[in-house]
Amino acid sequence: MNYSDKYTIVKQRWGTFVSYDLEGKELITSLNEEQCQSATEWYLYWLEHGFPEPETTHESYVGGKL
C-alpha cells in the first residue's frame, strides 16, 4: 500500500500535522507525522477499496428518569 504520491503532509504552526490530497482537501489531522502518514494511507486505501459494511447492528435503550 503506497499512496505517498497522492497526498502531502504539512506541519501546522501549533505543532499538529495535516494531510491534504492533491486537490487541497484536508484529510487527516494528527499529533505526529508518522501517525498522520499511516492514517492517511489507510484512509486512501479504504476510499479506493470501499469501507466494509458493519457485521452487526446494535440497538440500545436507556430507561429511567434522570
Cα separation, 49 vs 21, in Å, equals: 17
Task: Please report whether residue 63 resides in a domain.
Answer: no
pTM of the model: 0.73
**What is the domain range of residue 30?**
4-49
Task: Please report whether residue 36 resides in a domain.
Answer: yes
Q: Count of domains in the chain?
A: 1
Task: Please report whether residue 62 resides in a domain.
Answer: no
Q: 29 with 23: CB under 8 angstroms? A: no
Task: Please report whether residue 60 resides in a domain.
Answer: no
Q: Summarize pLDDT for 13-66 with one digit per residue, the tens.
A: 999 999 999 999 999 999 999 999 999 999 999 988 887 776 777 788 888 876
**Nearest CA-CA partner of 3 in 60, 47, 35, 63:** 47
pLDDT reported for residue 38: 95
CA triple 62-63-65, angle to 5 deg = 120
Cα separation, 23 vs 31, in Å, equals: 23
